[in-house]
């Protein structure tokens, strides 16, 4: 059940039980020419297993930075970050990289595919690094799930924006991550293509029960998540219930994506 939490002191606790993400009083300060910048200023938040959280807020409020912290790509200056039971402060850079491969999927606005690798290789290589027994077979299967079975040997430069984002999505979910992080994944796509990517993301999230944190400037899209977390000036300004999204595919088939 969703509870509206837009009160003066929003509750950081998730609505779906077990927390996959647990942030406590996370601060991040980075140096700049004009002096230190306090980018994150005391963020506490839980994200429950299988929950979808929409992360919104004005430009510069710290959304992308918070996602980088969740991915272990940026280290907090103070406070604690736990993801899937791991305490990030206890992992070194190598440990964080390994953890990411096994537990985190990320989709960026600008796709971030490796241009010299085919679609198949872009999805297979991280699986290979993570020790998957059949990285290329699994990669082909995942690309099939996003409708790209006919584009396996294409390079990113030979794919449309929507197709590139579908490769990125296949790559992000191929390792069955505990959490899928997305930073404005439709920001570089036209409306229709963006809508298709979102349908695909929510479909994967629902079918696999993947926990999801989605940064978006689209209020409707944020509202389609289970909760909407609003940042302002590096702090959580409010946490509100979303609607959770019901997709037509929910009604069509109970079939698992992972065959
Ligand atoms: N490496 C850095 N060094 C100093 N300041 C930084 C650094 N990275 C980000 N910032 C600052 O931190 C603040 C938050 O940036 P962030 O990219 O997280 O914002 P955002 O909420 O994602 O914004 P947008 O909606 O525009 O993408 C901004 O004011 C930015 O200028
Ligand atoms: Mg951003």
Question: Could you tell me the distance, in angstroms and rounded to a whole number, from the CA of residue 181 to the centre of ligand 1?
Answer: 17
State whether the beta carbon of 33 lies less than 6 angstroms from ligand 1: no
Q: Give the angle subtended at the CA of 25 by the CAs of 20 and 30, to the nearest 5°.
A: 105
Question: Within a 13 Å sphere around the CA of 162, how many CA atoms are in the beta-carbon half?
Answer: 15
Neighbours of 186 (CB within 10 A): 25
Query: Under a CB-based contact definition with an 8 Å cutoff, are residues 204 and 210 in contact?
Result: yes
Question: Could you tell me the distance, in angstroms and rounded to a whole number, from the CA of residue 63 to the centre of ligand 1?
Answer: 8
Nearest CA to ligand 1 atom 2: 30
Q: Of the bound ligands, which one is closest to the alpha carbon of residue 231?
A: 1
Angstrom distance (rounded) from CA 195 to CA 217: 14
State whether the beta carbon of 59 lies less than 6 angstroms from ligand 1: yes
List the chain pLDDT tens, one digit each, 259 residues. 444 444 434 455 554 458 999 999 999 999 999 999 999 999 999 999 999 999 999 999 999 999 999 999 999 999 999 999 899 999 999 999 999 999 999 999 999 999 999 999 999 999 999 999 999 999 999 999 999 999 999 999 999 999 999 999 999 999 999 999 999 999 888 888 888 889 889 988 888 899 999 999 988 899 999 999 999 999 999 999 999 875 544 443 334 434 3
**Number of helical (H) and strand (E) elements in the chain, helices listed first:** 8, 10
State whether the beta carbon of 32 lies less than 6 angstroms from ligand 1: yes
Domain boundaries, given as residue ranges, for the chain: 19-251
Question: Could you tell me the distance, in angstroms and rounded to a whole number, from the CA of residue 222 to the centre of ligand 1?
Answer: 20
State whether the beta carbon of 60 lies less than 6 angstroms from ligand 1: yes
Query: Under a CB-based contact definition with an 8 Å cutoff, are residues 81 and 26 in contact?
Result: yes
The class (CATH top level) of 19-251 is alpha beta
CA distances from 211 to 4, 53, 61, 104, 203 (A): 20, 8, 23, 10, 12
Question: Could you tell me the distance, in angstroms and rounded to a whole number, from the CA of residue 188 to the centre of ligand 2?
Answer: 13
Do the strands 37-48 and 179-183 form a parallel or antiparallel pair, or are they unpaired? unpaired
Nearest CA to ligand 1 atom 13: 60
- DSSP element (H, E) containing 29: strand 19-30
User: What stretches of 85-169 adopt beta strand conformation (E)?
Assistant: 86-87, 104-107
Angstrom distance (rounded) from CA 199 to CA 191: 12
State whether the beta carbon of 61 lies less than 6 angstroms from ligand 1: yes
Query: Under a CB-based contact definition with an 8 Å cutoff, are residues 23 and 44 in contact?
Result: yes
The C-alpha R_g of the chain, in whole angstroms, comes to 18
User: What stretches of 91-226 adopt beta strand conformation (E)?
Assistant: 104-107, 179-183, 211-215
Q: Is 4 left (phi over 0), alpha (psi -120 to 50) or beta?
A: beta
The token pair that represents 152 in the structure block: 């396996």
Angstrom distance (rounded) from CA 13 to CA 17: 9
Q: So what's the pLDDT on residue 13?
A: 56
Question: Could you tell me the distance, in angstroms and rounded to a whole number, from the CA of residue 209 to the centre of ligand 1?
Answer: 30
Tokens 């020419």 — which residue? 33
Q: Give the ranges where the chain is alpha helix by DSSP (H).
A: 63-70, 93-103, 119-129, 135-145, 161-174, 191-208, 219-223, 248-252
Query: Under a CB-based contact definition with an 8 Å cutoff, are residues 201 and 208 in contact?
Result: no
């Amino acid at each position: 059940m969703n509870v509206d939490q837009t009160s003066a002191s929003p509750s950081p606790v998730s609505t779906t039980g077990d927390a996959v993400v647990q942030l406590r009083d996370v601060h991040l300060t980075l140096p700049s020419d004009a002096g230190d910048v306090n980018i994150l200023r005391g963020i506490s938040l839980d994200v429950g297993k299988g929950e979808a959280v929409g992360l919104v807020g004005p430009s510069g409020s710290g959304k992308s930075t918070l996602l980088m912290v969740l991915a272990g790509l940026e280290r907090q200056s103070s406070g604690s970050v736990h993801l899937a039971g791991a305490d990030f402060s206890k992992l070194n850079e190598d440990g964080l990289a390994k953890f990411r491969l096994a537990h985190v999927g990320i989709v960026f606005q600008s796709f971030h595919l490796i241009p010299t690798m085919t679609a198949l290789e872009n999805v297979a290589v991280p699986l290979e690094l993570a020790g998957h027994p059949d990285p290329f077979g699994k990669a082909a299967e995942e690309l099939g799930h996003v409708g790209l079975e006919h584009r396996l040997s294409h390079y990113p430069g030979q794919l449309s924006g929507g197709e590139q984002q579908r490769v990125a999505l296949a790559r992000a979910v191929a390792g069955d991550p505990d959490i899928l992080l997305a930073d404005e994944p439709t920001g570089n796509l036209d409306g229709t293509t963006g809508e298709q990517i979102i349908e695909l993301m929510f479909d994967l999230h629902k079918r696999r029960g993947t926990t999801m944190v989605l940064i978006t400037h689209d209020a409707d899209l944020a509202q389609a998540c289970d909760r909407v977390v609003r940042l302002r000036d590096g702090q959580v300004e409010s946490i509100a219930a979303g609607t959770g999204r019901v997709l037509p595919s929910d009604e069509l088939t109970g079939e698992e994506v992972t065959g």
